[in-house]
A and B are shown apart, each in its own frame.
Chain A
């Protein structure tokens, strides 16, 4: 039972790290798209 907790902890940590990074790329991307639109006006 204890081993399963460690397995899930590793699984959650892996996807949390990737999710946070992908989220930060998405945020930066939409912010820059917005800025490009403003500059082109």
Chain B
């Protein structure tokens, strides 16, 4: 994996360049919104990638609770952190898109509010992991992650079951999308998913290194006490 990482990173960079070109140049201009609709190609793939990472976090948390696997705990932490980054992109690009289209930056609509709540849940997960020193922290965090993951389907299906300001789903749920736009959307999702995978791999290595350093430091401290 160590050897494959630089190749994977370069391939991801190339794919991101290609997907950006597709989003900004190749994708057809939407009739009513114009060019600002191209924000869609960052906004939606970022949301899907964040959801995917929160699902990975849920699975890893369940594995940690059942098997006490340290690796699963590290995967849970890494996926939550990278998921929060993608969710931040969603929460920033959404209002930038809403301002010219709706005339407002934000509204307390169900989809938007639930997405903000989702972000806050995972930020509190990261705060818990960062500032609590207790040996029970991974277990508490895993339980919080399970409750947090309950918000993912609520966010996703909120526009299916409730009348909201947010547009209807582009895939399924009666929504329709130009096939050329769908193609560009899927390329962008693939590119963002590859980016998430590469960043997660790197962050996972960082987490293992962090745990190794902590172990070495506690051994060093123990040696200092016994001498």
Contact = CB atoms under 8 A, between A and B. Distances in A.
Specify the main secondary structure of chain A where it touches its partner: helix
B93 A3 contact: no
Contacts of B213: 32, 35-36, 39
Nearest to B205: A29
A13 B96 contact: yes
Interface stretch (B57-65, B84-92, B106-114, B125-133): B84-92
Contacts of A11: 20, 24, 42
Interface residues of B, number: 34
Interface in A1-41: 2-4, 6-7, 9-11, 13-14, 17-18, 21-22, 25, 28-29, 32-33, 35-36, 39-40
Contacts of B210: 28, 32
A7 B206 contact: no
A39 B42 contact: no
Nearest to A28: B206
A7 B36 contact: yes
A3 B97 CA distance: 9
Contact of A29 (B38, B42, B96, B206): B206
Q: Of A10, A28, A33, which is in contact with the most chain B CB atoms at under 10 Å from its CB?
A: A10
Given A7-B35, A14-B42, A29 B202 contact: yes
B11 interface: no
A4 to B, nearest CB: 6
Contact of A25 (B35, B88, B100, B199): B199
**Top 9 nearest A-B pairs by Cβ distance?**
A3-B36, A10-B39, A10-B96, A10-B93, A39-B216, A32-B209, A21-B85, A14-B42, A13-B92
